[in-house]
Structure 1
């Protein structure tokens, strides 16, 4: 058994499909299938059940998966374990952060880590929630800061940030101080799609229905190009948290959303079985005061 076999195995488990995993790994599907068969031969048991819709882990595969992720994280940390300058070792902890995370809170969290978990060498990877959860399942992240509470991971609620709407300059709503959800009736409203901020679109549709409003929702994936996306769909408003609106749409007045209020929930997630240093980093992050 080689380390690459475990990486291939983790990728197939994360994607639930040999073809998608092969594409992600830049391998041909027959080549990946051979590698998985070799691993199954070495383990002495089938690891996947092949179905018309993809692959699922067998009981043996589930047992191996937990240990494989831990081994992969340890292997990835090996090159950075030694610190020759001080003679002290620092363990690398890779943390995923989503776009739009309040910068002040993140800087406070990093300061806490430097003071309380000095033996951790933290690296950050910016990615959306869906991508982060894929990376943590594949063993490429130790901790994920995400906008949904994932299953089969240890989680901690960090904080909620209220949603609001950035209003197109010159629109009658732009002169207000707040915006009720029913004020968006029949307006074109751009919002993040399910792949970027899971479950938000469902909550929006239900809340709007309960408020007696029918906004013309325009769901899209965007991070840096909110203005271009808004112009493309001729949006009257863009649903964002205040920090993202200030950064991406500085000329569009931002109003907090009311009646009802909606919030973007932020969670910390990590594998149930992990290194001690990862648990220590998670504890320090959990203790960071919530974002204002």
Structure 2
């Protein structure tokens, strides 16, 4: 058994499809199939059930999967751990972060980790929530700060709850208000993050608007640093986002808290149930939402 076989196995398990896994691994499907068959031969059991909808893990595959993730994570960390041995033997911990976290809060978290877990060397990787959860499942991330409550075999705790609001275009009548209700958005063009960035917000927006009997003209898209350009392209009257991001990315636009209904942006910390002691220590040291 070779590490590459385990990487191929984990990729197929994550994708649920030999074809999609082969594309991501830049292999042909026949080549990937041969590698999986070699691994199954080494293990002495079938790891996947093939069907019209793709692949699913057999009981033997489920048993191997958790061990494979841990082995790959240790293998990936080995070079960093070897290099860190000359620097007080600090263990590298990879943490995923989504765009738009309050920078002051994140710096406070890093300062707390430096004090409380001094043997951890923190590396931050910016990625969307869905990308982070995939990377955790595949063993490429130790922890992730995600915008959806993790499901499955992941541990989680709530870190942040920040209210959403709308930033109104300069000169728009909405900019003269002090707060905003869903009724105030009727027939306005509202730019909002799509599902890939904030998975639950667009569903909750549509449901809240339906409950209020109003029809905002939602413009769902992905944006982070270029909110102003995206708003201009969409000819948006207002942009839905949190206050600290609005002040940073949309200078001159008036941010109003959304009060009816209140719509919080939640950030969760997620990590595997089976992981290194240093990862558990980091997870415990990151302050939870009160």
1:53 positional shift: 2.0
1:189 aligns with 2:197: no
Q: Please give the root-mean-square deviation of Cα atoms over the aligned residues, in Å.
A: 1.4
Aligned equivalent of 1:168:
169
1:85 positional shift: 4.2
Aligned equivalent of 1:252:
253
> Partners of 1:50 and 1:246 in 2: how far apart?
51
Q: Check the 8 A contact 1:167/1:252 in 2, yes or no.
A: yes
Aligned equivalent of 2:6:
6
Q: Check the 8 A contact 1:108/1:288 in 2, yes or no.
A: no
Aligned equivalent of 1:273:
274
Aligned equivalent of 2:214:
213
User: Using a 3 Å threshold, how does the CA distance of structure 1 residues 201 and 84 change in structure 2: closer, same or farther?
Assistant: closer
CA distances 1:189-248 after superposition (whole Å, capped 9, x unpaired): 111111111111111111112222211111111122222222222111111111221222
Moved more, 31-40 or 138-147: 31-40
Taking structure 2 as the reference length, what is the TM-score of the superposition? 0.95
Aligned equivalent of 1:141:
141
Aligned equivalent of 2:223:
222
Taking structure 1 as the reference length, what is the TM-score of the superposition? 0.95
Aligned equivalent of 2:80:
80
Q: Check the 8 A contact 2:161/2:289 in 1, yes or no.
A: no
Mapping 1:1-292, distance limit 5 Å: 1-82=1-82, 83-86=84-87, 88-152=88-152, 153-285=154-286, 287=287
1:159 positional shift: 1.9
1:144 positional shift: 0.6
For these two proteins, the number of residue pairs brought into alignment is 288
| Unmatched tracts of structure 1, length 5 or more | none
> Partners of 1:47 and 1:246 in 2: how far apart?
51
1:289 positional shift: 6.4
| Unmatched tracts of structure 2, length 5 or more | none
Q: Check the 8 A contact 1:98/1:145 in 2, yes or no.
A: yes
Q: Check the 8 A contact 2:158/2:288 in 1, yes or no.
A: no
Question: Aligned with 2:42: secondary structure?
Answer: helix
